[in-house]
Every structure is written in C-alpha cells, then in structure tokens.
Chains A and B, each alone.
Chain A
Amino acid sequence: MVGESKSKGRVLVVDDDPILRQLFKRNLEKLGVEAVVVADGAGAQDAVQTESFDLVLMDQHLTGERGTELTARLRGEASSSAKWVCISGSIRGHQAESLANFDGSAEKPATVEEMRRLLREWLPDGTLPE
C-alpha cells in the first residue's frame, strides 16, 4: 500500500454540495486516484495539515466563505508542490480577482471523462493510473 500510494495522485476536493462531493469522490476513485472530500474551510484545514496532496479542487462559492480567500489562507500550510484549481458551475464571466491565488480554473467535472481531462491537465506525470 505504501509503495502504491507514492505513485497514486492525491486529490483534495472542497465543495459544500454533498451530492457533488459524493459524485467527485466516486469519479476520482473510479480513475484510481486517492480522494479526500471536505465541505468547508475547517475540513480543508484539517486535511492539508495531516496529509499532503498533489491537487486541490476548490469550489468558488463555499458556504460562508470564498474559495479564493480560503486558498490564500491554506496554501502556506499545504505542501508547496500542490496545484490549487478553482472549480465552479461555470467559468464564464468570472472576474479575474475571484481567480487570484489559484493556479487555474475549471468547470465542475460531472462525468468520469471530464474528471480525467482535469486530472490529466493538473496532476504530476505518472500519478494518474491508466
């Protein structure tokens, strides 16, 4: 297990929608990466303090919090190699300032295929099992 987990990508998803969290977790596991899904800033803080991730998918609009601010706060505590990507219902018409602190942005991936495209773009080479 320990040897395997080194080559597997590790993804943290922060989204306040429980149904979407369920969908993301299922699709990420289907793709063979390790997935941690949390609902809010507190959960995200716990996660980045105890584990390291290759990719953080951060919802733009969290309950009572903005994704861009949470990212600014947590980036220092997480491993420096992690990529932080803003996910949102639609990336159309996004204001530039709401994407500050992020490495990139993407529409929320609904299907396995969409998730695969997203991971291929952002995970380090070799961490996405074929």
Chain B
Amino acid sequence: MGPFPSDLNRRLSRLFLEPSGRLDDPARRSTATLFAGCLLALVLLFGAYDLYWMLVQDGYGPPWPGYLMMTLAYALVRAGYFYPSVLLTLGMLPTVAFTLVVTGHSPAPTMTLTLPVLGALLGTLLVDAWTTAALSLLAVALIATTALWPGPHRLPWQAISGPLLVNLLGGAIGVLSIVHRTRLEREGRRALESSAAELEQRVRARTIELDSTISELESFSYSVSHDLRAPLRAIEGFAAVLAEDHGDALGPGGRETLGVIRKSGARMSAMIDSLLDLSSVTRSPLVRDSLDLVTLASEVIRELRAAEPERDVHVVLPPTLPASGDAALLRTILQNLLGNAWKFTAGVQGPSIELAGVVRHGRRYFVVRDNGAGFDMAKAEHLFRPFERLHDAADFPGTGIGLATAARAVHRHGGDLFAEARVGAGAEFYFDLGQESACGDDHSRSILPLPARPPRR
C-alpha cells in the first residue's frame, strides 16, 4: 500500500487535494468579504506588532501571533473562502517590503511565518499539490536567507527554527500529496478498467446462460414436435386402415367423417413439420457463402409451379442478385416469401411475383413483391409471430408459421425483415442479410460512439 493507512489517505486527500468549492452563493460571498476585511486588519495589526518590537524595542516579539494567523487563514481557505486568502496574501507583501526597505531589518518572525500561509493558500486555491510543495520550499529558502542576512539584525536560528519546520512540513505534505494523488488516479483507472472487464465478463456469462436456455427451449420444442408425430402417424395409419378394411360398413356419412379425421391429421402433420422447420432454422449453424438469390429463387418457383401446374403466375427475376448468406436458410427465406406471394395471388387477375434488389433509407434490401390479397398494415406486427394469421385458413391454407420461420432465418443473418402492404393491393416483403447492406454516402452507421475516457482531476 501507500505511505499511509487507507483511512488516513482518504482524510489527507480530502484535506489537501480536493477543491473546497467556489463562491457561487451570494450569501457566502458576503461573509467571505467580511472575513477578508477582518484578516486584512489582522495582518496590519501583526505587522504593527512586529514593527513596534523591531523599531521601538530593537528586538523581536514572541512568534505565536504568526502561528495563530496561519492557522486562521488556512482554516478559512479550507472552508472555501478564497477572497480573504488572496487579500491576506496581497496584504502580506507590502508589509514585508516595508520592513526590508524602510527599516533595513529582515522580516520578523510573524512575517516569515505567514510565508507558508502563502504557499498553503495558493496551493489550495490552485488545487495543485505541486504549487503547495514549490511555494513551501520557496518559503524555506526565504527563511533561511533571513537567517543568513548580513548585518546586525540577522535573525537567530532559534527564531526561525519554528517557521522552517512548518514550511518543510508543508513541502513534505505537498510532495506526499503528489505521490498520493498519482496513486489514487492509477488505482481509479485500474478500478475502472477492472470493473469494465468484470462487466464484460458478466455480459458474456449472461449471454452464454441465455444461449443455453434458448437452445434448451429449442431442443425441447423440437423433441415435443418430433414426439407428437408418432401418435399422429398412428392416427393417420389406422384411419387409412378403417377406410380400406371397413369403408363399406361405414356408409357414406361415416366415410365423410373419416375423411375429415384424415384431413385434420394431415393438417396437424403439416403444422408439426412447420414447427420443426422453424426450430431447425435456429438449431443449425450459420455458414455464409456467396450465392445468387436468382438461382435459388428459380428453383423455388420451379417447385411451386410443379405443385400447382394449373396456375399461371407471371414471375419477374433480375439476371442476377449476389448475396452472402447461408444456403439452407436463404432457401427457407425464399421458399416462405415466394410461397407466400404465390399463395396470396391465387384469387387475382394476372397474378405477378417479383424478386428484386432495392435501396431504401441508404440500405440495400432484397424485396419480394406480389399483386395479391395484401393485408392491413395495422396488423403487420402479427405477421411474423408463429401461428398468427391475417387471413382465414379457408381462403388461404397455411400453418401461420412460414413468415415467422423466414423472419428467424433473416435474423440469424443479423438482418431485418419487414413488410409493406395494402388490403387488395399486394404486399412487399423487404429483407437484408446483415452484412454490407449500408450503401451510398450514408456513413453514419459505421461511426461508433467513442469510448468514454476516465475523468482527469
């Protein structure tokens, strides 16, 4: 540790290092002026006392008034009264000069004793331990000079030993303060650094914890969905057995009921598949490749055409759309967005779907447009939540998980997915893949806030 126990350290630093506050309060300022007047009077009084001893008695008075004055002035400064201390200092100089020039005597003990006050006052005023130390040492030099002053009125050593000691002490305190303050600053900086490191460590630990919770939840929902398949397979299988082996016995009503059971089973099966797709989007690792979205989109469109060959949808694709992303996830995104566009253009005249690259708000986006049913923008927030649908399942079949899956796949890339639409006027789904999407002269995104520097005192 440092030169003092830590409690003493704190007290010393409060006494010598910390500024005692400015005189912003008018009430305090007027009190300060009053004190200044009193001090000036004291200075003159003590000066007269010294002069009386020197000129009339041809000797020196006892030094205690000087000690008293020093203590008083220092207490005032510590209390925040700066003006009195300045006046005291200024009042001191002509007195010393007068003594030297007019009487030819060296300054008397009271005056030499006030010199350390000068050091202490200025030191505190400037809130600078260097000044305290320097002025105290200057005072030591001055006092020593008065002792070595040639002529009959040279001060005896015993007269100056007190002031000399006080000033040496002042200088020592100044030097120790510097050492102490440097140490405090270093400790403060180190504490700041270590608390920053600790914070970072905690964030990292929390992130790991969260990640493991998320992956636990993911694997839970995965295995639940997975295990739901087995009994569902049995239901579907035995419903088929019933239709095959006992269809005749059921009669038309019974067969229709059985048809409903089988259709519901198939629908549940599709929902579980969607859930498994949704969870696999988060489970699999992300591997970025340079890809052409148009190639992927063409494959998806081919699949859509194969599934519904009777539909004639106009598809607009650019010659190429380079992107950096995970092939499987990008396929999932396009499958869902293009599949969505395909589905919701079912009822319109001249259905049309377009995939394009656009720039919006200085960012590059991919967009999937259609001229289909659209939706009410007021309900857009429900769009990307699993199982929430904006359209009746009877009009547009679906599980309500597709867009949630697409959104998750986009977010895995660090990108953003949003939609714009109007009822009956088609929809636009914009997405980016996180990296390199800022473009043009919009550099503001790359400017990070500067790290805060530790405050200097």
Is A20 an interface position by the 8 A CB rule? yes
Nearest chain A CB to B238 CB, angstrom units: 6
Is B354 an interface position by the 8 A CB rule? no
A112-B244 contact given A23-B234, A92-B280, CB 8 Å threshold: yes
Q: How large is the interface on B (under 10, 10 to 19, 20 to 34, 35 or more residues)?
A: 20 to 34
A110-B236 contact given A92-B276, A92-B280, A93-B280, CB 8 Å threshold: yes
Q: Is the CB of A90 within 8 A of B273?
A: yes
A89-B233 contact given A23-B238, A23-B241, A26-B241, CB 8 Å threshold: yes
- Alpha-carbon separation in the docked complex, A111 to B266 (Å): 12
- Alpha-carbon separation in the docked complex, A27 to B244 (Å): 11
Nearest chain A CB to B331 CB, angstrom units: 14
Contacts of A26 in B (CB 8 A): 241
- Alpha-carbon separation in the docked complex, A89 to B235 (Å): 13
Q: Is the CB of A89 within 8 A of B227?
A: yes
Q: Is the CB of B280 within 8 A of A111?
A: no
Nearest to A91 among chain B residues (CB) is B276
Contacts of A27 in B (CB 8 A): 237
Contacts of A20 in B (CB 8 A): 230, 233-234, 237
Is B128 an interface position by the 8 A CB rule? no
Is B226 an interface position by the 8 A CB rule? yes
A91-130 contact mask (Cβ, 8 Å, vs B): 1 or 0: 0110000000000000110111000000000000000000
Q: Is the CB of B277 within 8 A of A92?
A: yes
Is B385 an interface position by the 8 A CB rule? no
Q: Identify B229's interface contact among A19, A23, A90, A111, CB under 8 A.
A: A90
- Alpha-carbon separation in the docked complex, A129 to B222 (Å): 38
Interface residues of B in 206-236 (CB under 8 A from A): 222, 225-230, 232-234, 236
Q: Identify B233's interface contact among A92, A93, A108, CB under 8 A.
A: A108
Is B272 an interface position by the 8 A CB rule? yes
Contacts of B222 in A (CB 8 A): 93
Nearest to B277 among chain A residues (CB) is A92
Q: Identify B230's interface contact among A92, A93, A108, A111, CB under 8 A.
A: A108
Nearest to B227 among chain A residues (CB) is A89
- Alpha-carbon separation in the docked complex, A108 to B241 (Å): 16
Is A77 an interface position by the 8 A CB rule? no
Nearest chain B CB to A16 CB, angstrom units: 10
- Alpha-carbon separation in the docked complex, A27 to B279 (Å): 32
- Alpha-carbon separation in the docked complex, A89 to B268 (Å): 13
Contacts of A89 in B (CB 8 A): 226-230, 232-233
Nearest chain B CB to A129 CB, angstrom units: 17
- Alpha-carbon separation in the docked complex, A92 to B228 (Å): 13
Nearest chain B CB to A9 CB, angstrom units: 20
Q: Is the CB of A93 within 8 A of B283?
A: yes
- Alpha-carbon separation in the docked complex, A17 to B279 (Å): 25
Contacts of B233 in A (CB 8 A): 20, 89, 107-108, 110
Contacts of A111 in B (CB 8 A): 236-237, 240
Contacts of A93 in B (CB 8 A): 222, 276-277, 279-280, 283-284
Q: Considering residues A19, A27, A89, which has the most beta carbons from chain B within 10 angstroms of its beta carbon? A: A89
Contacts of B228 in A (CB 8 A): 89
Nearest chain A CB to B280 CB, angstrom units: 3
Contacts of B230 in A (CB 8 A): 17, 20, 89, 108
6 contacts between A and B (CB under 8 A): A23-B234, A23-B237, A89-B232, A92-B280, A93-B222, A111-B240
Q: Which residues does A use to contact B, with CB under 8 Å?
A: 17, 19-20, 23, 26-27, 88-90, 92-93, 107-108, 110-112
